Amino acid sequence: MKMQEMNQSDAAGWIAAAMPTISKLFPAGLGALIMVAIDPPESRRELFWRLVAAGACSIFMGDTAMDILHSWWSVIDPAKHTHQAAVSFIVGACGWFVLGALGVLLKKLKADPVGTVVEVKKDLTP
Whether 8 contacts 46, CB under 8 Å? no
pLDDT digits (tens, 9 = 90+) for 22-56: 666 666 666 667 777 777 778 888 888 877 887 78
Rounded (5°) CA angle 92-117-94: 5
Is the pLDDT at 1 greater than 50? The verdict is: no
Would the pTM count as exceeding 0.85? no
Question: Whole-angstrom Cα distance, residue 51 to residue 96?
Answer: 7
Half-sphere exposure of 78 (CA within 13 A, CB side): 11
Whether 55 contacts 80, CB under 8 Å? no
